[in-house]
Each structure stands twice: as structure tokens, then as C-alpha cells.
Amino acid sequence: WGCRRNCHAKAKKYAMSAHAKSMVHHATALARYRAVRQQTADLVAPLSEADCQVQSMPDASPAKWHLGHTTWFFETFVLEPHEPAFKPCHPAFRVLFNSYYNGIGQKHPRPLRGQVTRPGLAEVKAYRAQVDERIAHLLRGPLPATVMAMIETGIQHEQQHQELILTDIQHALSCNPLQ
């Protein structure tokens, strides 16, 4: 009987330890998520709303679109399949901020992204804040490894768009005669 009690205690200790490790992993993922999302916000912070709207060539995208697109990625690939009672922030964003994900649905043409004046920059930032809060809430509970992997993919996707924001805005600003 002593062995059974000992084995049960060890199993219980391991199970609690695994849960604790999972929570630490979630907290680390949330911290990383928030840090990368903040880096993106910091990149566009010194830009005016007009700077975030401009599209200097068909192969570039406005900074405002990058902000919306990276948020759309988390909403579409993390929240939609895994958030109980999911509702999109704005149904039109599904098309507006889709890029090349043909399997997801329609997309707004890339060369015309700079012509989209609405939503405004403040609304796109509010969209980001809403999705960020929902991701944080999702990370407070148990999640399968596949969801954690998709969040990491989204984080890396966001970092890729940070590079695109820099190159796109550098090109746009280089075209401005008021340097």
C-alpha cells in the first residue's frame, strides 16, 4: 500500500508540475506576443496618419494596412478556430486585410490598398487592441501545442511585416520632396 500511495503522490506532483510549466509557457508566449506587437506600434508611432496611409508604389503597402493585416492573422488563424463564441471584430476586415490567403476568401487588391481611407488609423489601432486583449484572454487557459505554434507563427509573421513597414515607409518618405 505504501508504494501505491508514493506512486500516486509522485504522479500528482508531476501533473501539477506539468500544469505549472504550461502556465509559465503561456506567460512567456504572452510576453513575447506583447513585446513584438509593441515593437510594431513603436515603428509607426512617429508617423502621421497620412504617412500610414500612403502607398508609394503598387508593390508596397501602407503602414496602416500592415497593422491591420498582422492583426487579421491572429484573429483569423488563432481566435476564429479556438476562441469560444468567436465573433469577428468587423466582417469587412476579413477581405480588407487578407493578402494572399486564397483559401480564406476574397482579398482587396494590393495595388489599391493606399486608396482605402477607412477604417482610419485610430480604428485599426483599436482593432489591434481588441485582438490583443482576446489573445491574452485565450492564453490564460489551457491550449494545445498546435495553438501555441500558430501564435509563434503569427509572432514571426508580425516581425516579417515590421521589416516591410520599414522598407515601405522608407520608400514613401524618399519620394517626398519635403525631406
How would you write the pLDDT of the chain (179 residues) with one tens digit per residue? Answer: 445 455 445 444 444 444 545 555 788 999 999 999 999 999 999 999 999 999 999 999 999 999 999 999 999 999 999 999 999 999 999 999 999 888 899 999 999 999 999 999 999 999 999 999 999 999 998 899 999 999 999 999 999 999 999 999 999 999 999 86
> Is the Cβ–Cβ distance between 98 and 105 less than 8 Å?
yes
| Opening angle at CA 167, ends 161 and 148, nearest 5 | 15
Structure confidence at residue 111 (pLDDT): 94
Distance from C-alpha of 13 to C-alpha of 128, rounded to nearest angstrom: 39
Q: Is 6 left (phi over 0), alpha (psi -120 to 50) or beta?
A: alpha
End-to-end alpha carbon distance in the chain: 82
The torsion angles phi and psi of 104, rounded to 5 degrees, stand at: -85, -30
What's this model's pTM, rounded to 2 decimal places?
Answer: 0.87
